[in-house]
Chains A and B, each alone.
Chain A
Protein backbone atom coordinates (compact mmCIF):
# COMPACT_ATOMS: atom_id res chain seq x y z
CA UNK A 1 0.00 0.00 0.00
CA UNK A 2 1.38 3.37 -0.98
CA UNK A 3 1.48 5.98 1.78
CA UNK A 4 2.63 9.57 2.27
CA UNK A 5 3.98 11.20 5.37
CA UNK A 6 6.72 13.45 6.68
CA UNK A 7 9.93 11.51 6.41
CA UNK A 8 13.63 12.20 6.89
CA UNK A 9 15.99 11.40 4.05
CA UNK A 10 17.56 8.47 5.86
CA UNK A 11 14.22 6.81 6.44
CA UNK A 12 13.22 7.46 2.84
CA UNK A 13 16.43 5.75 1.74
CA UNK A 14 15.62 2.74 3.89
CA UNK A 15 12.21 2.50 2.23
CA UNK A 16 13.94 2.79 -1.14
CA UNK A 17 16.18 -0.17 -0.32
CA UNK A 18 13.19 -2.12 0.94
CA UNK A 19 11.08 -1.45 -2.14
CA UNK A 20 14.00 -2.31 -4.40
CA UNK A 21 14.13 -5.65 -2.60
CA UNK A 22 17.82 -5.33 -1.73
CA UNK A 23 18.92 -8.79 -0.60
CA UNK A 24 22.21 -8.08 1.13
CA UNK A 25 22.99 -4.89 3.08
CA UNK A 26 26.57 -4.81 4.39
CA UNK A 27 26.85 -1.55 6.27
CA UNK A 28 28.68 0.25 9.04
CA UNK A 29 27.22 3.22 10.88
CA UNK A 30 28.62 6.72 10.48
CA UNK A 31 27.03 10.04 11.24
CA UNK A 32 24.96 11.26 9.34
CA UNK A 33 24.09 7.96 7.66
CA UNK A 34 23.43 6.01 10.84
CA UNK A 35 19.64 6.28 10.91
CA UNK A 36 19.49 4.85 7.41
CA UNK A 37 20.89 1.55 8.52
CA UNK A 38 19.08 1.45 11.81
CA UNK A 39 15.83 1.99 9.86
CA UNK A 40 16.80 -0.93 7.66
CA UNK A 41 17.53 -3.02 10.73
CA UNK A 42 14.06 -2.16 12.06
CA UNK A 43 12.34 -2.91 8.76
CA UNK A 44 14.03 -6.31 8.69
CA UNK A 45 13.30 -7.01 12.33
CA UNK A 46 9.58 -6.30 11.97
CA UNK A 47 9.36 -8.41 8.83
CA UNK A 48 8.69 -5.53 6.42
CA UNK A 49 11.96 -6.07 4.60
CA UNK A 50 13.65 -9.35 3.79
CA UNK A 51 17.42 -8.96 3.55
CA UNK A 52 20.68 -10.11 5.10
CA UNK A 53 21.93 -7.10 7.02
CA UNK A 54 25.64 -7.72 7.62
CA UNK A 55 26.75 -5.70 10.61
CA UNK A 56 30.32 -5.32 9.46
CA UNK A 57 33.15 -3.93 11.55
CA UNK A 58 34.22 -1.19 9.19
CA UNK A 59 33.49 0.48 5.87
CA UNK A 60 36.33 -1.19 3.98
CA UNK A 61 34.71 -4.51 4.84
CA UNK A 62 31.26 -3.16 3.94
CA UNK A 63 32.22 -2.48 0.36
CA UNK A 64 34.22 -5.71 -0.02
CA UNK A 65 31.25 -7.69 1.25
CA UNK A 66 29.10 -5.75 -1.18
CA UNK A 67 31.37 -6.80 -4.03
CA UNK A 68 31.35 -10.46 -3.00
CA UNK A 69 27.60 -10.51 -2.55
CA UNK A 70 26.93 -8.80 -5.86
CA UNK A 71 29.21 -11.19 -7.75
CA UNK A 72 27.48 -14.07 -6.00
CA UNK A 73 24.14 -12.90 -7.38
CA UNK A 74 22.49 -10.77 -4.71
CA UNK A 75 21.10 -7.27 -5.10
CA UNK A 76 23.19 -5.15 -2.75
CA UNK A 77 22.58 -1.87 -0.94
CA UNK A 78 24.90 0.05 1.30
CA UNK A 79 25.67 3.61 2.39
CA UNK A 80 28.37 5.69 3.99
CA UNK A 81 29.80 9.18 4.47
CA UNK A 82 33.01 11.14 4.70
CA UNK A 83 35.63 9.23 6.73
CA UNK A 84 33.86 5.97 6.06
CA UNK A 85 34.00 6.62 2.34
CA UNK A 86 37.71 7.37 2.62
CA UNK A 87 38.24 4.17 4.59
CA UNK A 88 36.56 2.11 1.88
CA UNK A 89 38.24 3.98 -0.93
CA UNK A 90 40.29 1.10 -2.32
CA UNK A 91 37.20 -1.09 -2.27
CA UNK A 92 35.14 1.57 -4.09
CA UNK A 93 37.22 1.06 -7.22
CA UNK A 94 36.12 -2.57 -7.47
CA UNK A 95 32.43 -2.33 -8.42
CA UNK A 96 32.82 -0.12 -11.49
CA UNK A 97 35.92 -1.96 -12.72
CA UNK A 98 34.34 -5.35 -12.11
CA UNK A 99 30.99 -4.12 -13.50
CA UNK A 100 28.95 -4.89 -10.40
CA UNK A 101 25.75 -2.78 -10.11
CA UNK A 102 25.82 -2.06 -6.40
CA UNK A 103 23.75 0.89 -5.16
CA UNK A 104 25.38 2.93 -2.42
CA UNK A 105 24.04 6.11 -0.87
CA UNK A 106 26.62 8.76 -0.13
CA UNK A 107 25.16 10.71 2.77
CA UNK A 108 27.41 13.68 2.16
CA UNK A 109 29.57 14.83 4.99
CA UNK A 110 32.73 16.91 4.94
CA UNK A 111 36.02 15.06 5.15
CA UNK A 112 38.25 15.90 8.12
CA UNK A 113 40.23 17.86 9.06
CA UNK A 114 38.79 21.36 9.10
CA UNK A 115 35.16 20.44 8.94
CA UNK A 116 32.37 19.07 11.04
CA UNK A 117 29.80 16.36 10.60
CA UNK A 118 27.64 18.34 8.20
CA UNK A 119 27.85 18.21 4.45
CA UNK A 120 30.05 19.24 1.71
CA UNK A 121 30.40 17.11 -1.40
CA UNK A 122 34.05 16.09 -1.31
CA UNK A 123 33.31 12.53 -0.20
CA UNK A 124 31.17 11.63 -3.21
CA UNK A 125 33.06 13.83 -5.66
CA UNK A 126 36.20 11.97 -4.65
CA UNK A 127 34.76 9.06 -6.65
CA UNK A 128 34.58 11.01 -9.88
CA UNK A 129 37.42 9.11 -11.50
CA UNK A 130 36.59 5.52 -10.64
CA UNK A 131 33.46 4.92 -12.64
CA UNK A 132 30.59 5.25 -10.16
CA UNK A 133 27.44 6.86 -11.57
CA UNK A 134 26.51 9.81 -9.32
CA UNK A 135 23.08 11.40 -8.89
CA UNK A 136 22.51 14.20 -6.38
CA UNK A 137 19.21 14.36 -4.49
CA UNK A 138 17.53 17.46 -3.17
CA UNK A 139 15.05 16.00 -0.67
CA UNK A 140 13.71 12.79 0.87
CA UNK A 141 11.36 12.01 -2.01
CA UNK A 142 14.14 12.29 -4.53
CA UNK A 143 16.32 10.02 -2.41
CA UNK A 144 13.72 7.25 -2.39
CA UNK A 145 12.93 7.62 -6.07
CA UNK A 146 16.58 7.81 -7.08
CA UNK A 147 17.38 4.57 -5.25
CA UNK A 148 14.72 2.76 -7.26
CA UNK A 149 16.01 4.31 -10.47
CA UNK A 150 19.60 3.52 -9.49
CA UNK A 151 18.98 -0.23 -9.63
CA UNK A 152 17.20 0.02 -12.94
CA UNK A 153 20.06 2.06 -14.38
CA UNK A 154 22.93 0.04 -12.94
CA UNK A 155 21.48 -3.37 -13.69
CA UNK A 156 20.75 -2.50 -17.31
CA UNK A 157 22.61 -5.20 -19.25
CA UNK A 158 24.37 -2.58 -21.38
CA UNK A 159 25.53 -0.67 -18.32
CA UNK A 160 26.42 -2.85 -15.30
CA UNK A 161 27.81 0.03 -13.27
CA UNK A 162 27.37 0.89 -9.60
CA UNK A 163 25.20 3.92 -8.85
CA UNK A 164 25.56 6.43 -6.01
CA UNK A 165 22.48 8.40 -4.95
CA UNK A 166 24.09 11.27 -3.00
CA UNK A 167 22.28 13.42 -0.48
CA UNK A 168 23.37 15.95 2.09
CA UNK A 169 23.77 14.79 5.65
CA UNK A 170 21.47 16.57 8.12
CA UNK A 171 19.86 18.86 5.55
CA UNK A 172 18.37 15.91 3.72
CA UNK A 173 19.23 12.89 5.84
CA UNK A 174 17.68 14.30 9.01
CA UNK A 175 15.18 16.81 7.66
CA UNK A 176 11.62 15.62 7.32
CA UNK A 177 9.74 16.52 4.17
CA UNK A 178 6.57 15.00 2.68
CA UNK A 179 7.46 11.70 1.08
CA UNK A 180 5.34 9.22 -0.82
CA UNK A 181 6.35 5.59 -0.45
CA UNK A 182 5.02 3.80 -3.53
CA UNK A 183 3.29 0.46 -3.53
CA UNK A 184 5.57 -2.59 -3.44
CA UNK A 185 3.64 -4.38 -6.18
CA UNK A 186 4.00 -1.38 -8.46
CA UNK A 187 7.73 -1.32 -7.85
CA UNK A 188 8.03 -5.08 -8.44
CA UNK A 189 6.38 -4.67 -11.84
CA UNK A 190 8.75 -1.85 -12.71
CA UNK A 191 11.99 -3.29 -11.28
CA UNK A 192 12.65 -6.96 -12.10
CA UNK A 193 14.86 -9.17 -9.89
CA UNK A 194 18.64 -8.86 -10.22
CA UNK A 195 20.35 -11.34 -12.50
CA UNK A 196 23.83 -10.51 -13.74
CA UNK A 197 24.63 -11.98 -17.12
CA UNK A 198 28.38 -12.00 -16.57
CA UNK A 199 28.65 -13.26 -13.00
CA UNK A 200 27.66 -16.36 -11.11
CA UNK A 201 29.59 -18.10 -8.36
CA UNK A 202 27.23 -21.05 -8.13
CA UNK A 203 29.13 -24.33 -8.72
CA UNK A 204 26.51 -25.42 -11.26
CA UNK A 205 26.86 -22.25 -13.27
CA UNK A 206 30.22 -20.56 -12.71
CA UNK A 207 30.55 -17.41 -14.78
CA UNK A 208 33.01 -14.55 -14.63
CA UNK A 209 34.05 -12.00 -17.22
CA UNK A 210 37.20 -13.23 -18.97
CA UNK A 211 40.50 -11.71 -17.93
CA UNK A 212 41.39 -9.48 -20.86
CA UNK A 213 44.93 -9.01 -22.06
CA UNK A 214 44.41 -5.41 -23.12
CA UNK A 215 44.08 -3.21 -20.05
CA UNK A 216 43.31 -0.02 -21.94
CA UNK A 217 40.57 -1.75 -23.85
CA UNK A 218 38.99 -3.02 -20.64
CA UNK A 219 39.10 0.47 -19.15
CA UNK A 220 37.66 1.96 -22.29
CA UNK A 221 34.73 -0.40 -21.94
CA UNK A 222 33.90 1.18 -18.58
CA UNK A 223 34.10 4.60 -20.23
CA UNK A 224 31.78 3.44 -22.97
CA UNK A 225 29.32 2.16 -20.39
CA UNK A 226 29.26 5.67 -18.92
CA UNK A 227 28.54 7.12 -22.32
CA UNK A 228 25.68 4.68 -22.83
CA UNK A 229 24.46 5.42 -19.30
CA UNK A 230 23.48 8.96 -20.23
CA UNK A 231 20.54 7.86 -22.32
CA UNK A 232 19.62 5.13 -19.84
CA UNK A 233 19.52 7.66 -16.99
CA UNK A 234 17.22 9.92 -18.97
CA UNK A 235 15.01 7.09 -20.17
CA UNK A 236 14.66 5.59 -16.70
CA UNK A 237 13.73 9.01 -15.32
CA UNK A 238 11.05 9.47 -18.01
CA UNK A 239 9.75 5.97 -17.42
CA UNK A 240 9.67 6.51 -13.67
CA UNK A 241 7.62 9.66 -14.21
CA UNK A 242 5.18 7.75 -16.38
CA UNK A 243 4.67 5.00 -13.82
CA UNK A 244 5.04 6.81 -10.51
CA UNK A 245 4.13 10.36 -11.50
CA UNK A 246 7.40 11.97 -10.44
CA UNK A 247 10.36 12.92 -12.62
CA UNK A 248 13.59 14.81 -12.22
CA UNK A 249 14.44 16.03 -15.71
CA UNK A 250 17.32 13.60 -16.14
CA UNK A 251 20.62 15.37 -15.53
CA UNK A 252 19.71 19.04 -15.42
CA UNK A 253 16.63 20.88 -14.23
CA UNK A 254 16.20 24.48 -15.29
CA UNK A 255 14.18 26.38 -12.69
CA UNK A 256 12.57 29.65 -13.83
CA UNK A 257 15.22 30.20 -16.47
CA UNK A 258 12.91 31.39 -19.27
CA UNK A 259 13.87 35.04 -18.97
CA UNK A 260 17.14 34.62 -17.13
CA UNK A 261 20.31 36.41 -18.20
CA UNK A 262 22.37 34.25 -15.90
CA UNK A 263 22.01 31.11 -13.84
CA UNK A 264 23.32 29.70 -10.61
CA UNK A 265 24.21 26.03 -10.77
CA UNK A 266 23.69 24.09 -7.55
CA UNK A 267 23.88 20.49 -6.43
CA UNK A 268 22.16 18.84 -3.49
CA UNK A 269 20.06 20.34 -0.71
CA UNK A 270 21.11 23.95 -1.28
CA UNK A 271 19.02 23.75 -4.45
CA UNK A 272 15.94 23.92 -2.27
CA UNK A 273 17.17 27.08 -0.57
CA UNK A 274 18.22 28.53 -3.91
CA UNK A 275 14.73 28.08 -5.34
CA UNK A 276 13.39 30.42 -2.65
CA UNK A 277 16.04 33.03 -3.40
CA UNK A 278 15.37 32.86 -7.14
CA UNK A 279 11.65 33.31 -6.48
CA UNK A 280 12.38 36.36 -4.34
CA UNK A 281 14.82 37.94 -6.77
CA UNK A 282 12.69 37.34 -9.82
CA UNK A 283 9.90 38.94 -7.84
CA UNK A 284 12.19 41.99 -7.77
CA UNK A 285 12.64 41.74 -11.51
CA UNK A 286 16.13 40.30 -11.46
CA UNK A 287 17.06 38.02 -14.36
CA UNK A 288 18.65 35.21 -12.41
CA UNK A 289 17.63 31.58 -12.90
CA UNK A 290 18.61 28.32 -11.25
CA UNK A 291 20.03 25.16 -12.77
CA UNK A 292 19.95 22.08 -10.60
CA UNK A 293 22.73 19.66 -11.45
CA UNK A 294 21.37 16.23 -10.61
CA UNK A 295 23.72 13.93 -12.48
CA UNK A 296 27.42 14.52 -11.96
CA UNK A 297 28.67 11.24 -13.41
CA UNK A 298 28.47 10.76 -16.27
CA UNK A 299 28.94 14.52 -16.58
CA UNK A 300 26.26 16.06 -18.83
CA UNK A 301 28.64 18.04 -21.02
CA UNK A 302 26.50 18.08 -24.14
CA UNK A 303 23.40 18.97 -22.17
CA UNK A 304 25.20 21.91 -20.59
CA UNK A 305 26.51 23.15 -23.92
CA UNK A 306 22.94 23.18 -25.21
CA UNK A 307 21.54 25.29 -22.39
CA UNK A 308 24.62 27.47 -21.80
CA UNK A 309 24.00 29.12 -25.16
CA UNK A 310 21.00 30.87 -23.60
CA UNK A 311 22.82 32.62 -20.76
CA UNK A 312 25.41 35.33 -20.55
CA UNK A 313 26.85 34.00 -17.32
CA UNK A 314 26.80 30.71 -15.47
CA UNK A 315 27.84 30.57 -11.83
CA UNK A 316 28.81 27.25 -10.33
CA UNK A 317 28.19 26.89 -6.62
CA UNK A 318 30.79 24.44 -5.39
CA UNK A 319 30.15 22.85 -2.03
CA UNK A 320 33.59 21.26 -2.12
CA UNK A 321 37.26 22.15 -1.90
CA UNK A 322 40.03 21.23 -4.28
CA UNK A 323 43.19 22.77 -2.87
CA UNK A 324 45.66 23.92 -5.46
CA UNK A 325 43.31 23.18 -8.31
CA UNK A 326 43.49 24.60 -11.79
CA UNK A 327 40.74 27.02 -10.87
CA UNK A 328 38.18 26.75 -8.16
CA UNK A 329 35.93 23.91 -7.19
CA UNK A 330 35.41 20.52 -8.74
CA UNK A 331 32.08 21.13 -10.46
CA UNK A 332 33.24 24.42 -11.93
CA UNK A 333 36.29 22.75 -13.45
CA UNK A 334 34.18 20.00 -14.98
CA UNK A 335 31.80 22.60 -16.37
CA UNK A 336 34.64 24.71 -17.73
CA UNK A 337 35.89 21.69 -19.65
CA UNK A 338 32.39 20.94 -20.89
CA UNK A 339 31.92 24.49 -22.17
CA UNK A 340 35.40 24.87 -23.62
CA UNK A 341 34.54 23.67 -27.17
CA UNK A 342 31.78 26.33 -27.50
CA UNK A 343 32.49 29.13 -29.93
CA UNK A 344 30.59 31.60 -27.82
CA UNK A 345 31.00 30.79 -24.14
CA UNK A 346 29.08 32.40 -21.30
CA UNK A 347 30.99 34.02 -18.46
CA UNK A 348 31.94 31.43 -15.86
CA UNK A 349 31.89 32.25 -12.17
CA UNK A 350 32.71 29.96 -9.31
CA UNK A 351 31.58 30.28 -5.72
CA UNK A 352 32.79 28.16 -2.81
CA UNK A 353 30.18 27.89 -0.08
CA UNK A 354 29.08 25.46 2.59
CA UNK A 355 32.62 24.18 2.95
CA UNK A 356 33.41 21.73 5.71
CA UNK A 357 29.71 21.40 6.42
CA UNK A 358 28.73 25.02 6.92
CA UNK A 359 25.18 26.01 6.24
CA UNK A 360 24.32 27.68 2.91
CA UNK A 361 22.09 30.64 3.68
CA UNK A 362 19.54 32.60 1.68
CA UNK A 363 21.75 35.66 2.10
CA UNK A 364 24.76 33.88 0.63
CA UNK A 365 22.77 32.72 -2.37
CA UNK A 366 21.46 36.23 -2.90
CA UNK A 367 25.06 37.50 -2.77
CA UNK A 368 26.14 34.96 -5.39
CA UNK A 369 23.21 35.83 -7.64
CA UNK A 370 23.98 39.55 -7.35
CA UNK A 371 27.66 39.02 -8.15
CA UNK A 372 26.69 36.95 -11.17
CA UNK A 373 24.31 39.61 -12.50
CA UNK A 374 27.00 42.28 -11.91
CA UNK A 375 29.39 40.34 -14.10
CA UNK A 376 26.74 40.25 -16.82
CA UNK A 377 26.47 44.06 -16.58
CA UNK A 378 30.23 44.51 -16.66
CA UNK A 379 30.61 41.93 -19.41
CA UNK A 380 33.40 40.28 -17.50
CA UNK A 381 34.24 38.35 -14.37
CA UNK A 382 36.31 40.23 -11.79
CA UNK A 383 36.79 37.34 -9.38
CA UNK A 384 37.02 33.90 -10.93
CA UNK A 385 36.82 32.04 -7.64
CA UNK A 386 34.94 33.56 -4.73
CA UNK A 387 35.09 31.97 -1.27
CA UNK A 388 31.73 33.35 -0.14
CA UNK A 389 32.11 32.47 3.52
CA UNK A 390 35.10 34.78 3.87
CA UNK A 391 32.82 37.80 3.39
CA UNK A 392 30.81 39.44 6.10
CA UNK A 393 27.43 39.61 4.45
CA UNK A 394 25.64 41.11 7.38
CA UNK A 395 22.66 39.40 8.98
CA UNK A 396 21.77 35.90 7.95
CA UNK A 397 18.54 36.18 6.02
Chain B
Protein backbone atom coordinates (compact mmCIF):
# COMPACT_ATOMS: atom_id res chain seq x y z
CA UNK B 1 0.00 0.00 0.00
CA UNK B 2 1.11 3.56 -0.64
CA UNK B 3 2.70 5.65 2.04
CA UNK B 4 0.40 8.63 2.23
CA UNK B 5 1.85 12.11 2.57
CA UNK B 6 -0.76 14.87 2.76
CA UNK B 7 -0.57 18.63 2.66
CA UNK B 8 -4.24 19.06 3.43
CA UNK B 9 -6.88 16.83 5.01
CA UNK B 10 -10.68 16.97 4.88
CA UNK B 11 -12.68 18.04 7.88
CA UNK B 12 -16.47 17.72 7.95
CA UNK B 13 -19.01 20.01 9.60
CA UNK B 14 -21.73 17.54 10.56
CA UNK B 15 -24.18 20.38 11.24
CA UNK B 16 -24.01 21.67 7.67
CA UNK B 17 -24.01 18.18 6.13
CA UNK B 18 -27.26 17.05 4.49
CA UNK B 19 -26.22 13.41 4.07
CA UNK B 20 -26.40 13.44 0.25
CA UNK B 21 -23.42 11.09 -0.11
CA UNK B 22 -21.69 12.92 -2.99
CA UNK B 23 -18.45 12.93 -1.02
CA UNK B 24 -18.58 9.17 -0.66
CA UNK B 25 -19.53 8.67 -4.31
CA UNK B 26 -16.74 10.81 -5.73
CA UNK B 27 -13.82 10.05 -3.43
CA UNK B 28 -11.23 8.48 -5.78
CA UNK B 29 -9.81 6.32 -3.02
CA UNK B 30 -12.99 5.30 -1.22
CA UNK B 31 -11.67 6.93 1.94
CA UNK B 32 -14.87 8.88 2.61
CA UNK B 33 -17.88 7.04 3.98
CA UNK B 34 -21.22 8.06 5.44
CA UNK B 35 -21.61 6.54 8.90
CA UNK B 36 -24.88 5.29 10.45
CA UNK B 37 -25.85 8.91 11.09
CA UNK B 38 -25.32 9.65 7.40
CA UNK B 39 -22.41 11.92 8.20
CA UNK B 40 -19.02 11.70 6.47
CA UNK B 41 -16.11 9.99 8.17
CA UNK B 42 -12.62 9.77 6.69
CA UNK B 43 -9.97 7.07 6.59
CA UNK B 44 -6.93 9.19 7.31
CA UNK B 45 -4.69 6.16 6.83
CA UNK B 46 -5.26 6.33 3.08
CA UNK B 47 -6.79 9.74 2.31
CA UNK B 48 -4.50 11.71 -0.02
CA UNK B 49 -6.05 15.09 0.67
CA UNK B 50 -7.01 15.62 -2.99
CA UNK B 51 -9.99 17.76 -2.05
CA UNK B 52 -12.55 16.25 -4.42
CA UNK B 53 -14.96 15.61 -1.55
CA UNK B 54 -14.80 19.23 -0.42
CA UNK B 55 -15.21 20.44 -4.01
CA UNK B 56 -18.23 18.23 -4.71
CA UNK B 57 -20.10 18.91 -1.47
CA UNK B 58 -23.19 20.93 -2.45
CA UNK B 59 -23.40 22.67 0.92
CA UNK B 60 -19.67 23.21 1.60
CA UNK B 61 -19.79 20.99 4.64
CA UNK B 62 -16.27 19.71 4.05
CA UNK B 63 -13.24 21.95 4.41
CA UNK B 64 -9.66 21.14 3.44
CA UNK B 65 -7.51 22.09 6.43
CA UNK B 66 -3.79 21.91 6.98
CA UNK B 67 -2.63 18.34 7.61
CA UNK B 68 -2.51 17.59 11.29
CA UNK B 69 -5.26 20.01 12.22
CA UNK B 70 -8.23 17.85 11.13
- The answer on direct contact between A and B (beta carbons under 8 Å) is no
Interface residues of A (CB under 8 A from B): none
